[in-house]
Amino acid sequence: MSRRDEKRQAYASQLVPQKQNLDADKKGAAHLVCGLCKHYLETSWSADGRGSCSILKFGSNISANPPVYVLEGKEGFLTKTLSDASACKQFEKMQLIDKDGYECSDPVYRRTLRQLQEKE
């Protein structure tokens, strides 16, 4: 595999816009989702619910049975705010900060929290 192929594979999930389906998002809500984990990181793409993990690396799969944890590598593990993280052993629930919704950047998870609230 060429270096270019590797990059393409690693980044494809973030590059391709996805169709929006209101109903699908409301089904099967997991109690523990990546967006509630302190290792979840927002990116510029977080508006549509995407982000990455600060622990896991590319190749991990937390929805597999058993989950696959890759901890080494240069590419991060891309996930979504609402991905089911109940089986992930790296999951650590973050402390929610109750702040004015208009606050900028702090907490950085403002949007995540709102999405989660809507989901409930």
Partner 1 sequence: MAQAALKDTSVKEFEKKQEWWWAAEKKRSKRLDYLRKAIWKKGAIGGLYAPGVKVDLERAQLHTQKAKEMEMSPDAYVIKFAKMFAHILDNKTIFITDHAQLVGYTGSLPHTMGWDPSAASILNEEAFNDPTAIPDPVDVNQKVIREINNYWIGKTDLDKMMPVFDMEDLMKMLSGSIGWGVPLARGGYSSKDYEYIMTGKRAFAAIIDELDRKIDEVDEEVHQPGANAEISKAYDKLNNWDAMKITLEAGIRIAKRYARLARIIAENFEEDPKRKEELLKIAQTCERVPAHPPRNLQESFQYDIFIQMMSRTEAIEGAWPSRPDYYHGPYYDKDVNIDKTLTREEALDLVGEFIIRAAEVCQFKPKWTREGLQGIDGTWVWTIGGVDRNGKDACNDLTVALMQAARLVRVANPTLSFRWHPKVKDEVMREIFECNRQGLGYPNMRNDPILVANTMHWYGHPIEEARLWANQACLSPCPTTKHGFQPMRMANATANCAKIIEYVFTSGFDPVVNMQVGAETPDVATFKNFEEFFAAWTLQMQTIFSILVRAVNRARTLAPTMTPRPFLSGVSERSIESGLDTLDPSIERGNSWITAFTWVENVDSLAAVKKLVFEDKKYTLAQLKEALAKNWEGLEEMRLDFVKNAPKWGNDDDYVDDIMLRCLDEAAKFSKVLKDPSGNNWPILPENVSGNIHYANIVGALPNGRRLGDALYDGGISPGPGLDKKGPTAVLKSCGKIDHITGGRAFLLNQRLSPTQLAGEKGYQLWSSYIRTWADLGIDHIQFNMVDDATLRSAQKDPEKYQEVIVRVAGYSAHFVDVSRKTQDNIIQRTVQGLG
Residues that bind partner 1 (CB under 8 A): 4, 7-8, 11, 14-15, 17-22, 41-49, 52-54, 57, 74-77, 100-106, 108, 110-111, 114-115, 118
Q: Which is nearer to partner 1, 16 or 65 (CB)?
A: 16
Q: How many CB atoms lie within 10 A of CB 32?
A: 15
Query: How far is it, in rounded angstroms, from Cα 57 to Cα 59?
Result: 6
Q: Which is nearer to partner 1, 93 or 114 (CB)?
A: 114
Question: Is residue 17 exposed (0-12), middle (13-18) or buried (19+ Cβ within 10 Å)?
Answer: exposed
Q: Which two tokens mark 61?
A: 């799969």
Decide if 26 contacts 119 (C-beta within 8 A).
yes
Query: How far is it, in rounded angstroms, from Cα 118 to Cα 120?
Result: 5
Minimum distance of partner 1 from residue 69's CB (angstroms): 15
Q: Which is nearer to partner 1, 28 or 118 (CB)?
A: 118
Q: What share of the chain is helix, strand, coil (3-state, %, to 5)?
A: 30, 20, 55
Minimum distance of partner 1 from residue 19's CB (angstroms): 5
Q: Which is nearer to partner 1, 5 or 65 (CB)?
A: 5
